[in-house]
Chains A and B, each alone.
Chain A
Amino acid sequence: MTTALHDSPSVPAPNTSLRHARRSRGQAILSGGITTVIGAVGVVVGLSTIFGQPRHLRIGWLLPLVGVVIDLDPLGGFFIAATGAVSIAVGIYAVGYAQREHWARFPLVVLPLFVAAMLCVPAAGSVTTFLLAWELMAAASLVLVLSEHHRAEVRSAGIFYAVMTQLGFAAILLALVVLSAAGGGDAFATIASHLGDISPGTRTAVFLLTLMGFGSKAGLLPLHAWLPRAHPEAPSPVSALMSAAMVNMGIYGIIRIDMQILGPGPHWWGLTLMIFGAVSAVFGVLQASVATDLKRLLAYSTTENMGLITLALGAAALLSSYGVQNVSAMAMTAALLLILSHASFKTLAFLGAGSVLAATGLRDLDKLGGLARRMPGTTVMFGIAALGASGLPLGAGFVGEWLLLQSLIHSPHDNNTMLALMMPLSVGAVALTTGLGIAAMVKAFGVGFLARPRSAAAAAAREAPASMLAGMTLAAAACAVFAVAPVLLSPILRQVLATLPSVGGVEAGPALGTYLRLPGMAGSISPGLIAAALVVAVLLALGLSRWGARHRPDAVQAPLWACGADSLSPKMQYTATSFAEPLQRVFDNVLQPDTDVEITHFAESQYLVEKVTYRTLMTDPVEHRLYNPVVRAVTTWAQWVRRAHPGSVHLYLTYGAMGLLIVLVIAR
């Protein structure tokens, strides 16, 4: 907008554009500031709920007939605090991002609204309030996804997201309406107290419907398809909010409805959750490891992490249904830790990707590179996020994944075929996920930020402004805390676990002190001491090498060794595609890439090659196989229905009259 004013000679350029810039700056600060304040309020309310008394609030006038019911308990407080913390970082970041990307006024207004709606979801104490907040959150996020609606890809992603989120909402609506009808009330507390009245058939229906609805919001397979479409096309602060906070609401719904209110369920509930989780985790990380679009990679990584969390939830439910409460508490603690760590590192990763996008206009890893010199701050931040996402020690995701693996390994399975079969298989799935996750994150960081720039846009990158760096620093600090000092989270997790009696809440969970100890089991680890030992070892090695080099002559600059050639070109570097090629080859049957090699010979001889063209297209096989037939069927059906809309006013009036008659006959 500003550039248009600059270019137009008829407008008195400097004065107007300056005023305009000042105004857009003020708007950005206002919007980001309000988002930050709302987030801070969320953190305070969440923490005070976790450590204080449960609070009940009813606002009768806000919604006709039933009113709005707010019920705050430690489980809701946990999600409110996590969402609030993400919003603080994103709000600060958005101040710089909105100015740099010249956001229109509409997304600036909707951003704080979206955060507020998300905070209301875990606070809701009744079905109506929950559904209202849920729909507000979905609508606000859709508006934000569409903020760059002048691009065709954004519009297509928006339609995809809108359809999937509304279908998910329909499933949740149906489930909760059935539940409140069977439970004899609108409030969650009433339903929980009338649990005995609900028949097993109703419970099963509610479980399946909520799993579908909440699973689609959490991005679980096969309802994940909106994630890799909407996340890359949404503005990056919005992607961060959606990927780090909004998908958690799907997990929240599963925990609240299926585990707290309806739990403990039969064995197959936990088993279903575990299978969906494991498949989502492995498929998500596979797609992430071959993705070349940075934000698409992060979106698939979200599917992977939500899969791991669901796997942990399923393990907790399954173990609890067999009466192994202490290990169940461990799996649940792992799930809660994974939710927090994923929120922190995914916020940071999307904000880092946003800085890259704002500086270069590129998301394609094959064209990036060389950012470590040009954007050192952003590079360090993204490095911290990538370390967290790869689940290695000193990364934010490590403690949660370690606990999850320990709970899977330590589950007793004497004479229990189900546990004896499921737990080792799950260990395999988690191990494969973690290994491929490291490959994906090494690719994102190594190809995207290190080496030399692969395009002119990457070579011209500039460091992000201070407010964007400040937002990222906050998220990085959270990552560091989760990585080395999980002891700080111990009291929070204990309070939350106590509200979940159906998944080992009666037992003491694992002790997260300086050493992480497992109650009654062998195995302990201390991430803080590992970090300290690493720092000491690095300092010692640096000191020794300095001392050893004190007599050496000064270093000289030598030309780069290029195997005898004059220079290396950036084209000789690994690209994201070539880095992932071996993986793509190994998992050919699952990924089903569309590759095409075209060789052109010289006219003189077929032994001389003039040109080789290699083209590869990675599509999502699930989307391809499952969604396309559905979309085709719906289109055919819609074309058929369309014949009833010929554009004749007389016919439409007849429809109206007939409709009225039918209503009158039925309502007689």
Chain B
Amino acid sequence: MSWIGKIGRVGRIVEPAEAAPDATVAPPTGVTGSLQLRHVDAGSCNGCELEIGGTFSPVYDAERFGARIVASPRHADGLITTGVVTRNMHQPLLNTLNSVPEPRVVIAVGDCACNGGSFARGYGVVGSVADVIPVDVQVPGCPPTPQQIITALRTVTGR
């Protein structure tokens, strides 16, 4: 049973979180520390996906600030979108947004999602995410680091 005592002696050994950033939008559900997001790849090169994967990994662990990725927009409070909006993904993006119950937030991650990045004005591109749907939070970077993504998420979760 020595391991139980060891847990008690060692205690929590995570680095202390940085001070919470200023809020950008109020939490859509009215509850802090609970933000369920559906991820939509509107035409990304998958760089941002890797960083989002890292964000929710045990190393960065965005869930301790109350943000989660869920499987269906029906379960979500908002969207987290990456990449420029391509012609193929234009309508699916709108369909997914309309399937999220209101009130909802839209978080655009990466330079492409914010302003088109290096793919802006391409022949298969409709535009940035903000050109298509209203965006609440933008995370610049190509790709943004997990730390930047976590900071942006904390401005919505309020923790």
Contacts and interface: CB of A to CB of B under 8 A. Distances in A.
Interface in A548-571: 558-559, 561-562, 564-566
A558 B98 contact: yes
Interface residues of A, number: 7
Contacts of B99: 558-559, 561
A563 to B, nearest CB: 8
B74 A561 contact: yes
Interface residues of B, number: 12
Interface in A525-573: 558-559, 561-562, 564-566
A156 B35 CA distance: 65
B96 interface: yes
A236 to B, nearest CB: 41
B95 A562 contact: yes
Interface in B90-105: 91-93, 95-96, 98-99, 101
A569 to B, nearest CB: 15
A661 to B, nearest CB: 89
B34 to A, nearest CB: 18
B72 interface: yes
Greatest chain A CB density within 10 A among B40, B92, B93 is at B92
B59 to A, nearest CB: 30
Main secondary structure of the interface of B (DSSP, over half): helix
Interface string A585-611: 000000000000000000000000000
B98 A565 contact: no
A558 B91 CA distance: 16
Contacts, number: 20
Given A558-B99, A559-B98, A566 B72 contact: no
A554 to B, nearest CB: 13
Interface string B79-99: 000000000000111011011
B143 interface: no
Contact of A565 (B73, B93, B95): B95
A562 B98 CA distance: 11
Nearest to B73: A561
Interface string B96-128: 101101000000000000000000000000000
B157 to A, nearest CB: 24
Nearest to B95: A564
Contacts of B93: 564
B57 to A, nearest CB: 26
A565 B93 CA distance: 10
Contacts of B74: 561
A558 B92 CA distance: 15
Nearest to B98: A559
Contacts of B40: 564
A562 B92 CA distance: 9
A565 B95 CA distance: 7
Contacts of A558: 98-99, 101
Contacts of A561: 72-74, 99
Interface string A340-352: 0000000000000
Contacts of A566: 91, 95
A565 B92 contact: yes
A558 B98 CA distance: 8
> What 9 A-B pairs are tightest by C-beta distance, nearest first?
A564-B92, A561-B99, A564-B95, A564-B96, A561-B74, A559-B98, A561-B73, A561-B72, A558-B99
6 contacts: A558-B99, A558-B101, A562-B95, A564-B40, A564-B92, A566-B91
Interface of B: 40, 72-74, 91-93, 95-96, 98-99, 101
Given A559-B99, A565-B95, 5 more contacts: A561-B73, A561-B74, A562-B95, A564-B40, A564-B96
